Chain A
Amino acid sequence: MMPELGKYAGAVLSAYGVSLFLIVGLVAVSILRARAAKRLLNDVEARRKGGNHG
């Protein structure tokens, strides 16, 4: 299945490795930050609502 990369195998594989690592990292950080921001805003809004009724 693995293509024959010859003497440039190290270069090709490291280019793919670094790029995929950066892309996956960027996506993961973006998703985690999005979740954290949503949760924090919900908490603050819930607290304000609770405060207003209390």
Chain B
Amino acid sequence: MASIWEYANPKKFIDTTDRLLPFIAVAAVAALVVGLVWGFFFTPEDYRQGSTVKIIYLHVPAALMAINAWLMMLVASLVWIVRRHHVSALAARAAAPVGAVMTVIALVTGAIWGQPMWGTWWEWDPRLTSFLVLFLFYLGYMALWSAIENDDTAADLTSVLCLVGSVFAVLSRYAVNFWNQGLHQGASLSLDKEENVADVFYHPLLVCIAGFILLFVALVFLRTQTEIRARRTRALLARERLG
């Protein structure tokens, strides 16, 4: 069996992801279309939330991906720190804009849902606040990558920032449990079936989550390829300049 470290070779990574990308992309689109159409058109209103319950199919998967994208970046950053594989640092860089967009979607859909349900667009509630701070970490992470010319130095510094930001990624997930206050309710999904949303909402939600995960994987593969090529181009141009 091939070792996972083989994929630290940029050429091997591009060849493998090139083969996988079309299948993952098609599966992502299929799951998103099925999940969102099912959720939007074929689920009933909630007796308390009315039709705003349909926002769950965007809000929950986006929030889930916002947190897990950062955790993926954390793992990739640790691999960079320990093993100095460039592909892992570039994969972390590639995931950041995807995670940032997911965070924006979670914040915006949450605000749109909150206005009619809580009577406010925003509240300095533990989960909302930690999510906002997570978004600021995403912005800082991307800005730091762009601000430093040397790729290895940028990877080192952004990896440290990623480690620090992980506190907020974890807080975003568990803030409700830690502080047990604020407006935001507990998890919509749980291994405990009693705590889950009703089945009629739960099944399309699972399909949407699968769609968001597949979309994230497809985008990270594609964007990591882009970062690898951009890095190679910068290296070749630097060599040209040297003569």
Contacts and interface: CB of A to CB of B under 8 A. Distances in A.
Contacts of A48: 236, 240
A41 B229 contact: yes
Interface in B220-243: 222-223, 225-226, 229-230, 232-233, 236-237, 240
Contact of A15 (B41, B45, B112): B112
Given A12-B54, A38-B229, A31 B222 contact: yes
Size band of the A side of the interface? 20 to 34
A54 B51 CA distance: 68
A6 B51 contact: yes
B62 A19 contact: yes
A15 B109 contact: yes
Nearest to B44: A3
A8 to B, nearest CB: 5
B175 to A, nearest CB: 22
A30 B105 contact: no
- Chief secondary structure at chain A's binding surface: helix
Interface of B: 36, 40-41, 45, 50-52, 54-55, 58-59, 62, 97-98, 101, 104-105, 108-109, 112-113, 115-116, 215, 219, 222-223, 225-226, 229-230, 232-233, 236-237, 240
Contact of A3 (B40, B97, B104): B40
Contacts of A8: 50-52, 116
Tell me the dominant secondary structure on chain B's binding face. Answer: helix
Nearest to B105: A19
B150 to A, nearest CB: 19
Which 4 A-B residue pairs are closest in the complex by CB-CB distance? A5-B51, A37-B229, A19-B58, A15-B112
Contacts of B41: 1, 3
Contacts of A34: 222-223, 225-226
Nearest to A47: B240
A16 B236 contact: no
Interface of A: 1, 3-9, 11-12, 14-16, 18-19, 22-23, 26-27, 30-31, 33-34, 37-38, 40-41, 44-45, 48
A12 B51 contact: yes
Contacts of A22: 101, 104-105
B223 A11 contact: no
Contact of B52 (A11, A26, A27, A45): A11
A30 B97 CA distance: 10
B222 A3 contact: no
A4 B43 CA distance: 11
